[in-house]
Amino acid sequence: MQTVLAILLSLAFGWAAIPLRLSPGPTKSSASIVPATTTQVILLGTGTPFPDPASSGPATAVVVGRRVLLFDAGPGVMRRLKAANLPISGPEALFITHLHSDHTLGYADLILTSWVMRRRAPFPVYGPPGLRRMTNHLLAAYSEDIHIRENGLEPEATGGYRVDVHEIRRGVVYDKDGVRVTAIVVQHGAWPDAFAYRIDTADRSIVISGDTRPSDELVKAAQGVDILIHEVYSAARLKPEDRPGGQDWPRYCREYHTSDVELGALAVRIQPKLLILDHMIRMGASDEELLSGVRAGGYNDRVVVGKDLDKF
Ligand SMILES: [Zn+2]
Ligand SMILES: [Zn+2]
């Protein structure tokens, strides 16, 4: 009876009804039926380059009904997609914030594993200049694998590994069937091109900061959004580190990233309905320390520390 009900519900509301009903997963959100137009944010990876088993590499899914838009492809992205009960045969589209390895180490996994998991057609990938070269190099690196899979006894579709790369500038980069994605130029140290993204759907507005120091352009583009997902480091814990180059660590953080106190001040100007801390460079700081840093910046409204597989 449960199965029949789930199938009926899935016909009415799309695939989301089945995984949510039959396999709630390890998240803290309550199981509910998600109509085809409802937008949900799933944090797939809230980590940094540090290989913390609890925090996968940067990746966020924006799920609209049964459509999955993916933002960044950090290491672990395929396993987190599976853990979140999302399709593993490729997203509707992938958006890369910048080409730092922690945000792209899962890109080859996403391209190749989605193919092995029965992807047949290219999906579009949007990101900064250099993305095409990276994609071509990755495909060249795996050319032996691709050759064997296409010509051996494995039943992979010929050419099914391909993606459509779009190197972008600021502005609207994706606008399809009620989902619009806008690239926001941000400053991430010496990177010539780094983007935040704003996603607008029928029921929600979301901004994902990517990696950035405090950005006026982001403040302007994010005014009053429903959800602001922003990177952060602990201001209180920032100090030179005892390692080669460690003297420059505080300067690096200030030029490339946003402190919890700075984020609090940004959030006061943005007034999101919910602020989610992401990509946390903790340097030992607890959740409570990061939150008190945000409050020290003046922000006293809704804020949560993002955890992998949280749903909003
Ligand atoms: Zn970065
Ligand atoms: Zn990063």
pLDDT of residue 175: 98
On average, the pLDDT of the chain sits at 91
Which residues are bridge partners to 306 per DSSP? Answer: none
pLDDT of residue 34: 56
Q: Which ligand is nearest to the CA of 48?
A: 2
- Cα-based distances in Å from 188 to 12, 32, 97, 185, 258: 44, 38, 10, 10, 10
* Residues having C-beta closer than 5 Å to ion ligand 1: 100, 211
- The region of weakest confidence among 9-23, 179-193, 258-272, 294-308 is 9-23
Q: Is the pLDDT of residue 5 over 50?
A: no
Distance CA 122, CA 141 (A): 19
Distance CA 166, CA 174 (A): 10
Residue predicted with more confidence, 229 or 30: 229
Query: pLDDT, tens digit, for every residue of 75-96?
Result: 999 999 999 999 999 999 999 9
Question: How many A from CA of 159 to the centre of ligand 2?
Answer: 31
How many Cβ atoms are within 10 Å of 235's Cβ, its own excluded?
23
Question: How many A from CA of 156 to the centre of ligand 1?
Answer: 34
Location of structure tokens 């290219």: 122
Question: How many A from CA of 34 to the centre of ligand 1?
Answer: 33
Question: In degrees to the nearest 10, what's the CA dihedral of 24, 310, 38, 5?
Answer: 0
* Residues having C-beta closer than 5 Å to ion ligand 2: 102, 211
Q: Which ligand is nearest to the CA of 281?
A: 2
Which residues are bridge partners to 227 per DSSP? Answer: 206, 274
Q: Which ligand is nearest to the CA of 278?
A: 2
Average pLDDT for residues 134-140, to the nearest whole number? 98
- Sheet containing strand 205-208, edge to edge, reads 171-176, 179-185, 195-200, 205-208, 227-233, 274-281, 303-305
Question: How many A from CA of 257 to the centre of ligand 1?
Answer: 8
Question: How many A from CA of 11 to the centre of ligand 2?
Answer: 39
Question: How many A from CA of 100 to the centre of ligand 1?
Answer: 5
Q: Is 102 a catalytic residue?
A: yes
Residue predicted with more confidence, 274 or 30: 274
| CB-count exposure of residue 169 (10 Å: 0-12, 13-18, 19+) | exposed
pLDDT of residue 155: 79
pLDDT of residue 31: 44
- Cα-based distances in Å from 254 to 118, 189, 257: 44, 9, 6
What percent of the chain stands above pLDDT 90?
86
Q: How confident is the model at residue 10 (pLDDT cuts 50, 70, 90)?
A: very low
Q: Angle 143-151/131-141 helices, nearest 10 degrees?
A: 60
pLDDT of residue 15: 39
pLDDT of residue 137: 98
Q: Is the pLDDT of residue 27 over 70?
A: no
Question: How many A from CA of 98 to the centre of ligand 1?
Answer: 7
Q: Which of 52, 72, 102, 248 is the catalytic position?
A: 102
Question: In degrees to the nearest 10, what's the CA dihedral of 303, 304, 306, 307?
Answer: -170
DSSP 262-310: HHHHHHHHH--SEEEEEEEE-TT--HHHHHHHHHHTT--S-EEE--TT-
Question: How many A from CA of 268 to the centre of ligand 1?
Answer: 24
The answer to whether 161 touches 139, Cβ cutoff 8 Å, is yes
Q: Which ligand is nearest to the CA of 231?
A: 2
Task: Reduce the DSSP state of residue 134 to 3 states and report it.
Answer: helix
How far from the centroid of its chain's Cα atoms is residue 63's Cα? Answer: 11
Q: Which ligand is nearest to the CA of 46?
A: 2
Distance CA 203, CA 226 (A): 9
- The region of weakest confidence among 26-30, 142-146, 306-310 is 26-30
